Amino acid sequence: MRGVRSTTEGIRVVETSHDSSDGVRVSVASSGICGSDVHLASFGPLPVTLGHEFCGRLDDGTRVAVLPVVPCGHCDRCAAGDEQQCADAFGTLYGISRDGGLADEVWVDPRCAKVIPDDVPFEHGNLVEPLAVALHGIHRAGVDAGAKILVIGAGPVGLCTIAALRAQGAEVDLLARRSRRMEAGERVGARTSISDHYDVVLDAAGTQGSVDLAIELTRPGGTVGFLGTFWDPVSIGVGFQMKEVTLVPAFAYGHHHGASEFEEAVRVLGVVPELPEAVVTHHFSLDDAAEAFRVAGDRDSDAIKVVVHP
């Protein structure tokens, strides 16, 4: 079995093995490369196969998207439906601490195999994970019907956030720096004329500049939701305090009003048919994984989402 790993020689496709007693087998159909995968690879050799955005088929042919978090199920945070806050979560993540989906096949906990209905395009099931991230950020920010909303950043999470909001009937403005991404945002329903005094600004970029803009464009008493990952420290100026802006972080996904956000993301993928074509810009075979990672990490390539297929 082949798997993509970060080695002393960089990203390589290597032969791997796995204990089949560890759950159910998923024959991988597609696996997306997340920005966090690129960052992980930059840290040097890792002992696990990468990839946490993936879908495939079980041995009986069932089509599934894989929830990459394996919660303990018994701590107080799991009991509250906030599995992403489980103390054991980082030790059980597929693609980070367990073998992930950039492979021919992977064995996963049966609870993590979420069925993709026949009316949802299976080949795009790798987008369920970033859609779940977007939904969790929307829920955390408390976006109400009729709110004036701005999304900053049109990477995969930003575009998924627009799609999820549009699926709820919301009007969304988009602010992004690159023309290709602005065009992708328009394809999934965003408006690209920017005003100010937004009720909610959702920062999907995760940079100092995006934080500053988010606070500047939020109305007094409004909310800034942070969906992007901050790989470098940022500072918060006095403006957010003077405007009494509420800052709301979001990480991964759990439950909202008792419903699984990951499973909700499966439904959203089925009702926003424009999303995959707008987000996925590059496809590679598993054998070309090293080039796929190069493209995903190269700003000059203008890639949005790079997908690998075994």
Contact between 205 and 151 (Cβ < 8 Å) = no
Domain CATH for 242: 3.40.50.720
Same domain as 60, residue 10: yes
Q: What 3-state class would DSSP assign to 256?
A: strand
Same domain as 298, residue 150: no
What is d(CA 219, CA 195) in angstroms, rounded to the nearest whole number? 11
What is d(CA 197, CA 207) in angstroms, rounded to the nearest whole number? 21
Query: Which band of pLDDT confidence, cut at 50, 70 and 90, is reported for residue 242?
Result: very high
Q: Which of 75-89, 105-119, 142-156, 285-299 is least confident?
A: 75-89
Q: Which of 117-126, 153-162, 217-226, 260-269 is least confident?
A: 117-126
Check residue 36 and give its pLDDT.
Answer: 93
pLDDT > 90: what percent of the chain? 81
- What sign for the dihedral angle of Cα 17, 21, 92, 307? positive
Q: In the predicted model, is pLDDT for residue 10 greater than 70?
A: yes
Same domain as 83, residue 52: yes
- Cα(first)–Cα(last) distance of the chain, in Å? 11
Centre a 10 Å sphere on the Cβ of residue 186 and count the other Cβ atoms it contains: 16
Residues 61-81 have a mean pLDDT of: 91
For the chain, the domain total comes to 2
Indicate the pTM of the whole model.
0.95
Question: Domain end: 210, 232, 249, which one?
Answer: 249
Q: Which domain holds residue 280?
A: 2-129+254-309
What is d(CA 275, CA 254) in angstroms, rounded to the nearest whole number? 22
* Per-residue pLDDT reduced to its tens digit, 208-217: 999 999 999 9
Residues 163-187 have a mean pLDDT of: 94
Contact between 101 and 16 (Cβ < 8 Å) = no
Question: Domain end: 228, 249, 270, which one?
Answer: 249
Residues 177-203 have a mean pLDDT of: 94
Q: Which range among 96-100, 201-205, 235-239 has the greatest average pLDDT?
A: 201-205
Q: In the predicted model, is pLDDT for residue 20 greater than 80?
A: no
Same domain as 219, residue 190: yes
Question: Domain end: 249, 268, 291, which one?
Answer: 249
What is d(CA 85, CA 62) in angstroms, rounded to the nearest whole number? 29
Q: What is the mean pLDDT of the chain?
A: 94
What is d(CA 4, CA 16) in angstroms, rounded to the nearest whole number? 9
Domain CATH for 15: 3.90.180.10
Query: Which band of pLDDT confidence, cut at 50, 70 and 90, is reported for residue 120?
Result: confident
Check residue 17 and give its pLDDT.
Answer: 82
Check residue 50 and give its pLDDT.
Answer: 97
Same domain as 288, residue 269: yes
Same domain as 6, residue 125: yes
Query: Which band of pLDDT confidence, cut at 50, 70 and 90, is reported for residue 28?
Result: very high
Same domain as 293, residue 178: no
Same domain as 114, residue 101: yes
Check residue 21 and give its pLDDT.
Answer: 59
Same domain as 284, residue 272: yes
Same domain as 79, residue 117: yes
* Per-residue pLDDT reduced to its tens digit, 159-173: 999 999 999 999 999
Same domain as 48, residue 113: yes
* Per-residue pLDDT reduced to its tens digit, 243-280: 999 999 999 999 999 999 999 999 999 999 899 999 99
Check residue 119 and give its pLDDT.
Answer: 85
Give the rounded distance of the alpha carbon of 95 from its chain centre: 13
Question: Token pair for residue 142?
Answer: 């408390």
Check residue 19 and give its pLDDT.
Answer: 61
Check residue 91 and give its pLDDT.
Answer: 81
Q: What 3-state class would DSSP assign to 145?
A: coil
Same domain as 293, residue 221: no
**Helical spans, DSSP H, in 61-207:** 76-79, 128-141, 156-167, 179-187
